[in-house]
Structure 1
Amino acid sequence: MQGLTHHEALAPEQEGLKRDLRLRHMIMIAISGTIGTGLFLTSGSTIATSGPGGALLAYVIIGIWLVFVCQAIGEIATLLPLPGAFNAWGGRVFDEALSFQMSWMYFINWALTIPAELAASAVIVSFWLPKDSKFPDWAVPLMIILLMVVINLAGVKAYGELEYWFSVLKVVTIVMFIICGILVDAGVIGGVNYGMSAWHIDGAPFKGGFIGFITTLVSVGYAYGGTEMTAITAAESRNPHKHVPMAVKTVMLRIAFFYIISIFLLGSIIPNDDPDLVNSSESAATAPFTIVFAKAGINAAANYMNAVVFTSVFSAINSDFYIATRVLLSLSRNGWAHKSIGYTNSRGVPLVALAIVTVCSCLSLITIFVGSGVAFRWFVSLIGSIIFQSWILILLLHFRFRYCWKAQDRPVVDLPYVSWGYPYGNMVATFIGVCIIIATWYLSLINPPTNPGAGATPEQLTAYHAARDAYVQHILGAWFPWVCSACLFISYKVINKTKFIKAEKADLDTGRFIPTESDKEDMRPHGPAWKRFVKYLI
């Protein structure tokens, strides 16, 4: 494996993988994981639910939480670039049962994300089809699945290159949106000076109060989800000591730029009572970004945005396949799944894991026949809660990692990347995360629907059934990840009689990346200061 020396002891799950991801791949893969349908199509619903102020606050608060999650990821993944990433850290510093639980929950997360994205793909393509079209709904997801298999068989380099160019398209689109949004808001184009008027209408800036605010948190978490995949890709980075810290730093800047500014402009231009803001059809024609482009006089905005959204979904599914196969590889290599799943070919592709993920994807086609929109909302509830669980556990594992590092008399300066703001940043982020998780639990239990009784009208019964389904969806989304995790952790610990790992005996070396002289030379600053600054930003 390129970049390794004979002094390095490989972890079992690192065997057979190729270090073929460059810095530009690492950065763009991380960006691709954070910018997708959650921002392009559903960001408007957060404003419609909680107003411009509530939506902006939700994105800012979860963004702060995520900044310190990324810092924790950067510190440990730079030192230990394992394919299981943070899912493998629990077995090193806490208890093997925690790694078992986190790995399986993270696989479940991506196994659910694939059908969610596939369900969305059929809806997006239908935008270009005539109303009487007989084109089957299952054809687009099936073609995407076949393409995913081909791409993944080509190896990690092909995956990284595709993600790079998909991400470039998304970044260009958001930059265009921000420029258009500023000009539209100021009245330079479109002929209307919006300013902050949308913040002063009925319901604004905090529509629905506290309940409206916490209602949006899971969907905002879903929109941010995927940022943590930088840790997974570290295992196939050519130089984790350089690439992981750079990816972490630049992603933080771009989250602030892309998400916060975009939500602020959307909330300033489109009133929270605009029916198109909800985008109930999940169509690019009424997506919030499209509305702003249309106000700027870009007549082809709907077609352009639909193309961008489709490539975003394709990119997301590409990432889903990559992450799901690597998590399965880690599960197999650690003895938590059948050993045959850990097989990799000469190109470093985990073939059996890829086959399993492909089968799961084919089964997901069932969601199209039961209603892709309904299925998508259920998936978002589950995925958002699993993401929150992963983030809070990453922070707790970082605390434990630092404790083990100190207990073994290792100085902080020996870490190849040091998380800034530790421990206070982690404390703030953990507090935010715990409060958000408790808020989602609270939201799932309040206001249960009331049966209208035997004399109810058909309309009342329909409304009751919809409210009952939504109530069950919220309960399942909020509590399933924690109940499932508890069952996984306790059952593994009882069956295997695992022991709590003492800090002095924690394994902080197996799988550690030891840079060669060429790697060290690559990490040294090159070129004039202005070029280095531009590279840091882009």
Structure 2
Amino acid sequence: MALVGTIETGLFLRIESALTRGGPSSLVPGYTITGMFLYAMMPALGEMATWLPLPGATPQFCSRYVDDALGFAVGYNNWYAATFSGCSDLSATAIVIQYWNKEINLTRVLWPGVWITVILVSITLLDCICVGIFGEAEFALVTIKVFTLLGLLILALVVDLGCGSNAHRLGFQFWNDPGAINTYLTTGAFGRFLGWFSVLINASFSYVGIELVAGRPSHFWRILFFYSLGSLAVGLIVSSKDEQLLSAQAASAPGAARSPWVIAIQGAGITGLPSLINAVILSSAISAANEWLFCASRYLYALAKLGKALPIFLRCTKRGIPWAGVWTTALILCVSYLDVSNSGSSVSNWLSSISAISNCFTWGSVSIAYLGFHRALKAQGIDRDSLPYKAPFQPCASYLALTFFATVIMFSGFSAFVYRFDRQEFITSYITIPIFFTLYFGHKLIRKTSLIGAKDVDLFSGKQEVDLDGELNDEVPPKNMVEKVLNWLFFRKRSPETQNASLDGLSG
């Protein structure tokens, strides 16, 4: 599930802006450094979850170990982050479909808004009626994406070695000409730093949804594997000053037209693959939108169950599907219709930026919750060696991760202040800050909550029941060689029932 949300269109499309801004040698350290700070956060989440799995995990951890007001703010932050992520991916579907307009002018047959309507209605009905096949459908889609990425990595090696029809060995040619590091917004050393820092922010956006790997956070390195190798491959096979890439970027070209993978394939004289890659990008966007609708509706249900949302969101069908949350979130997803205007791609970028910064708040809150949990263990005399899972390098890793996420939040819109003040960039980069703190301080003032002392943290309520139940083994054994490879490489397949429970509980 986390793979579906994390590797949606980031490695296929959005990496192109990181390449043109920072240059090839900025990609690998940018994505790897961001991944390492996320790795510092993920095991901390795993340590809390294995000690005491709580419904509505991150908000509950914040409420229980730090302050109920923080849990309230994080809960709603998770909901609108998932909702806007769904809007962004739903908008991307209409943009990606336009790639085929050169061969079949679909806009003359169907208005782009029709595609959004068809997909939105389909995923809403899937989440309301056919949720039983949700896990299987997502597993099939993630399998396609994993093998596509593996195929692209192999193809990148082939192209780099000059094995295409336009045989020309590339090696590290583009690191020498036009250069390994680009300047961004200004010249000199400061311009090169801004180029690298923009890659860092872009990488943070690409990891959106990574906290859904809470079931096995220690296996996060597999996600890091894809991003590190993928960013290296892109920097080898496409020039950061490629005219086709820059013109496609300037024109907000749809779908695969501005994908560095497609541009490299076309440059190597390989035909047929661009449309296939565009189809994979389309399936990625649809599956991600489907997942975010599922997650957002369960976030609302979890908030209502904790008494922090309207009781109507507790209403479920006979099959236990929170229909009120599904339809409310689906209604907000109609924001995606803004994408049918001429500035549609900009709307998609705005939504992506808002959801990404919201996720940084979630990641930072996980670190804060863990620090409260760690202090409580120490104050109450509980040896961490006795825990079911002990996160490495703690609490130092959580302090470093919190500092990194705060830095990304504060400087995510730095480009709005260079040369001329850009109001749109400023608003989309920083609007989540006042929203989050309004939720936090508003709840704090109304409910009169306070920070919980280390000795007063409740570490044991509900733990006896968890210990009696034992460890839930929700993994489905691999049935064939393909599933064995996927099992080792990236993720473990779960049953639909435990998939739903995971999203409703651990990540909800």
Q: TM-score, normalised by structure 1?
A: 0.81
Structure 2 match to 1:276:
244
The Cα of 1:520 is off from its aligned counterpart by: 7.2
The Cα of 1:91 is off from its aligned counterpart by: 0.8
**Contact kept in structure 2, 1:90 and 1:99, CA below 8 Å:** yes
The Cα of 1:310 is off from its aligned counterpart by: 0.7
In 2 relative to 1, CA 405–45 (structure 1 residues): closer, same or farther, beyond 3 Å? same
The Cα of 1:532 is off from its aligned counterpart by: 9.1
Distance of 1:69 and 1:295 partners within structure 2: 40
Identical positions, percent: 26
The Cα of 1:321 is off from its aligned counterpart by: 0.8
Matched, 1:173 2:148: yes
SS class of match (1:448): coil
SS class of match (2:458): coil
Distance of 1:311 and 1:534 partners within structure 2: 19
Distance of 1:330 and 1:442 partners within structure 2: 35
Matched, 1:207 2:183: yes
**Contact kept in structure 2, 1:381 and 1:474, CA below 8 Å:** no
Structure 2 match to 1:476:
427
Matched, 1:320 2:292: yes
Distance of 1:520 and 1:360 partners within structure 2: 35
Per-residue deviation, residues 36-81 of structure 1 (Å, max 9, x unmatched): 1122112112111111112222212211111112212222233343
Distance of 1:140 and 1:441 partners within structure 2: 32
Which of 334, 343, 364 is the equivalent residue of 1:371? 343
Structure 1 match to 2:402:
430
Distance of 1:405 and 1:196 partners within structure 2: 50
Structure 2: which 5+ residue stretches go unaligned?
185-191, 491-508
In 2 relative to 1, CA 488–473 (structure 1 residues): closer, same or farther, beyond 3 Å? same
Distance of 1:188 and 1:338 partners within structure 2: 60
Structure 1: which 5+ residue stretches go unaligned?
1-28, 232-243, 450-470
Matched, 1:99 2:50: no
Q: How does 1:294-443 map to 2 (within 5 A)?
A: 294-295=266-267, 297-369=269-341, 371-440=343-412, 442-443=414-415
Distance of 1:510 and 1:356 partners within structure 2: 33
Q: Which moved more, 1:117-126 or 1:365-374?
A: 365-374
The Cα of 1:443 is off from its aligned counterpart by: 4.2
1:143 maps to a residue whose letter is V
Q: Which moved more, 1:509-518 or 1:115-124?
A: 509-518
The Cα of 1:212 is off from its aligned counterpart by: 1.8
Which of 270, 283, 293 is the equivalent residue of 2:265? 293
Structure 1 match to 2:447:
496
Q: How many residues align?
A: 470
SS class of match (1:514): helix
Structure 1 match to 2:225:
257
Q: How does 1:139-218 map to 2 (within 5 A)?
A: 139-154=114-129, 157-190=132-165, 191-208=167-184, 209-218=192-201
SS class of match (1:417): coil
Q: Which moved more, 1:212-221 or 1:371-380?
A: 212-221
2:35 maps to a residue whose letter is G
- How much is the aligned-residue C-alpha RMSD, in angstroms? 2.7
**Contact kept in structure 1, 2:86 and 2:290, CA below 8 Å:** no
**Contact kept in structure 1, 2:31 and 2:199, CA below 8 Å:** no
The Cα of 1:166 is off from its aligned counterpart by: 0.6
Distance of 1:364 and 1:412 partners within structure 2: 46
Distance of 2:325 and 2:145 partners within structure 1: 29
The Cα of 1:207 is off from its aligned counterpart by: 3.4
Per-residue deviation, residues 320-354 of structure 1 (Å, max 9, x unmatched): 11110111012111222111202233433111111
The Cα of 1:83 is off from its aligned counterpart by: 4.2
The Cα of 1:363 is off from its aligned counterpart by: 4.4
Distance of 1:334 and 1:62 partners within structure 2: 33
Structure 1 match to 2:113:
138
**Contact kept in structure 2, 1:214 and 1:443, CA below 8 Å:** no
Distance of 1:498 and 1:68 partners within structure 2: 29
Distance of 2:474 and 2:281 partners within structure 1: 36
